[in-house]
Structure 1
């Protein structure tokens, strides 16, 4: 250990009195325990880590040996060090080694977000440019508190808490949702709507009701890996469909429909996650035609739709809910902690979904559903949406400027909450290096149903306004380009 190493590596208070190898090992161990480094993830090479930390390769080898002794990583001959798979999971043969399990990648990002939100036990996160939500400060509104107070005064705690709610969802909320959907040209009666614990549960109930293990489901590529993980854990076979500016690749949809007979297709019409694309009218018409011809159901995910600034066609409006199920939620617009979502579909399908909901969690919380109904009826959610769209437009303009100045290239015109950009380097390695600096990224592997590495990443515009992040980003991308060249 040299004086240079001691001077370059600057540990925090917790690291004082520890050797360099112990500090480096502790940092990786903290990230592994928090599941911010997914099972199967490759640690930086010894030389790369040594350059990054400003220490000798021998120090890094000693740190990795400590992690291996703790059972946290394993060495693979001629490949490097990898985060170890738990003992109860079967090892993957080296010849078959591929990307880590999809659920791990999805939950790694979400755990990082929750660690930042709850602070306690957070592994030193400073920012979340890869987050999937608006900043908490943006969602602070007195309307929610006022709605709860008025409901408690009007209905009383006993009426709201001492009985189960309606299995299909609070009638007051379903009436309000009919009006909300009508404004989107989706015509639905209260009997065609079921509420649930957010759009995530909506998709889970749909797959239970309308698919069986072994069935095929079409998913967009790129798309959201939490959905991929949900579907895969239900035993469904994922069929990737490339997503373009106008919507999914219709030739690929037709191919899969002919040869695999899928039961479902999950698609985003407005503000696709992660690209920000919205579907064209022509693509929407053709996709519905394919669904009718081949008999698969379309699950239209509109969770980011309320942030859409431009009119965009909805499949459920064009189809009148014949071959479509419309799912959405209010956590993105109102409060992440209020898990209120909905499904709109035909009456027969809603009956089947309600049976699944009864088996999963009986009913939904009455207080939260009636509060959302109150906010909808009072126009508070409409005003909140307009305010957020205006604020988001300003943040997006600033974040795009910072990204372009840092050498990023956007794959499509920035819209909505997310930008899909090309970093020019391995996004997995970039995410790992920036995580070490305290920034949680969303590399492109997260959005690929096959878990393939890429140079792309998803950028959350409101979470990417920190000049310090872009300074770190520029430094790490430059270092990766240098090591590659």
Structure 2
């Protein structure tokens, strides 16, 4: 993506500006409902005349991508739902763009606050630069050499044919479930292989739990700030999302108690260790209070331990205290190893296992045996553990550099830096900042994305692994100063 409009290009400045904005709308970097910058502000940002901006906005309106609201400005429309308003050729182009650029599993045109984060997962970089808002570790950190060797070993001889011509075990490969049970034991979580079900990533595990235990309209407590995709997923299923403020020790127990008394929630979903985006880890005292509340009011605690491989084994976990009575444990390997393999798992109370297994079978039948056997072999030989240790060392070094650069750039850490992500206060509205930085080729994760109800927010989440570049922080400082001067 070019950083400025070209006066020597084959397209006019109006056409270039309209195309740039149209691309962002179709990629959901400007989600439906977003207000475009005012004509004066956009002209100043792009160093063009107000006439050029007005003409570009008119082009977008003619294409059905934005709408003008009297006295309020221009707003992004739900462009896929409005395709009939376009001319046939424009509709085909827009539909093709949506089909080829929208990640599988997302509904084109849906009003999903997580859009920018999802794009960051599927696009390694914008303009070839490391992305501050990325939700994954750099590819060069993920050494998969030992995985390739494991795949060759488990696929030799009859193993390959068996994995190709038969469905896998319904619960998941037995060797992997046994390895997972041993891994969970080291975390203090008592789960037998018969309580473990493998899934297509931790996200599918969350989806299985929701589909098995909830009905549309059911209230679900979710941490705020929290994982934007979880808000969107639950809302798309018709659930009532109840945001619970998350602090350094754990959730706001008073808020949870009020929900329990008035809403009768069915689930509480928590990233207890190295919380996304704050990096907080649950205290043992808070975990105990949550479990007592779950027992009194009859809801299940869903513990998403996605970052377990880069977290201390001794960190308190709800499921360790509860011994899987009112809790369900979920994790996976996408954050630290082979994201594309989509290997995840859940461990549940015995009385829920069959219901959760039925839901898995209805959605995917089975999970890929070959990859699960290879993962089991890596766990049994200690290769995954050694890989995780190397990642923790890389992250510790990256975190130190990134924190220093962020503080030099004027950011304040809202939470003590820990794990993979930092939660920083920039002092300016980060949704506006995001669009400015996108012009410079940087994709950030604005704070509004991590709240159930969207609103102005001065925080952003940074990935310590991808914010060690001083060049980004110089661009960041310039953009923030411009916003402050314009205020």
Report the TM-score when normalising by structure 2: 0.91
Are 2:465 and 1:451 equivalent residues in the alignment? Answer: no
Q: Are the equivalent residues in 2 in contact too, given 1:74–1:83 (CA < 8 A)?
A: yes
Are 2:460 and 1:465 equivalent residues in the alignment? Answer: no
2:195, 2:4 → 1: CA distance? 61
What secondary structure, in the 3-state scheme, does the structure 2 residue paired with 1:337 have? helix
1:79 corresponding residue in structure 2? 72
Deviations 1:111-134 (A, max 9, x none): 2431336xxxxx746332111111
Matches within 5 A, 1:72-471: 72-86=65-79, 88=81, 104-116=112-124, 124=127, 126-153=129-156, 155-309=158-312, 311-471=314-474
What secondary structure, in the 3-state scheme, does the structure 2 residue paired with 1:244 have? coil
Q: Are the equivalent residues in 2 in contact too, given 1:125–1:439 (CA < 8 A)?
A: no
Q: Quote how far apart the aligned CAs of 1:395 are.
A: 0.3
Q: Quote how far apart the aligned CAs of 1:10 are.
A: 4.7
Rate the CA distance shift 1:87–1:168 in 2: closer, same or farther, 3 A. Answer: closer
2:441, 2:334 → 1: CA distance? 26
What secondary structure, in the 3-state scheme, does the structure 2 residue paired with 1:65 have? helix
Q: Quote how far apart the aligned CAs of 1:152 are.
A: 1.2
Q: Are the equivalent residues in 1 in contact too, given 2:332–2:344 (CA < 8 A)?
A: yes
Q: Are the equivalent residues in 1 in contact too, given 2:187–2:314 (CA < 8 A)?
A: no
Deviations 1:159-191 (A, max 9, x none): 111100011111111011110000001011111
Q: Are the equivalent residues in 2 in contact too, given 1:40–1:84 (CA < 8 A)?
A: yes
Are 2:36 and 1:11 equivalent residues in the alignment? Answer: no
Q: Are the equivalent residues in 2 in contact too, given 1:225–1:446 (CA < 8 A)?
A: yes
1:481 corresponding residue in structure 2? 484
Alignment partner of 1:20 out of 13, 28, 38: 13
1:102, 1:323 → 2: CA distance? 33
Q: Quote how far apart the aligned CAs of 1:310 are.
A: 7.2
2:312, 2:288 → 1: CA distance? 22
1:398, 1:444 → 2: CA distance? 22
Rate the CA distance shift 1:457–1:416 in 2: closer, same or farther, 3 A. Answer: same
What secondary structure, in the 3-state scheme, does the structure 2 residue paired with 1:116 have? coil
Alignment partner of 1:38 out of 31, 35, 45: 31
Which stretches of structure 1, 4 residues or longer, exceed 6 Å deviation after superposition? none
How large is the RMSD of aligned CA atoms in angstroms? 1.8
What secondary structure, in the 3-state scheme, does the structure 1 residue paired with 2:329 have? strand
1:403, 1:395 → 2: CA distance? 12
2:76, 2:65 → 1: CA distance? 6
Q: Quote how far apart the aligned CAs of 1:89 are.
A: 7.3
Alignment partner of 2:44 out of 32, 47, 51: 51
Q: Quote how far apart the aligned CAs of 1:452 are.
A: 2.2
What secondary structure, in the 3-state scheme, does the structure 2 residue paired with 1:140 have? coil
Unaligned 5+ residue runs, structure 1?
A: 1-7, 91-100, 118-122
1:329, 1:364 → 2: CA distance? 13
Q: Are the equivalent residues in 1 in contact too, given 2:67–2:77 (CA < 8 A)?
A: yes
Q: Quote how far apart the aligned CAs of 1:105 are.
A: 2.2
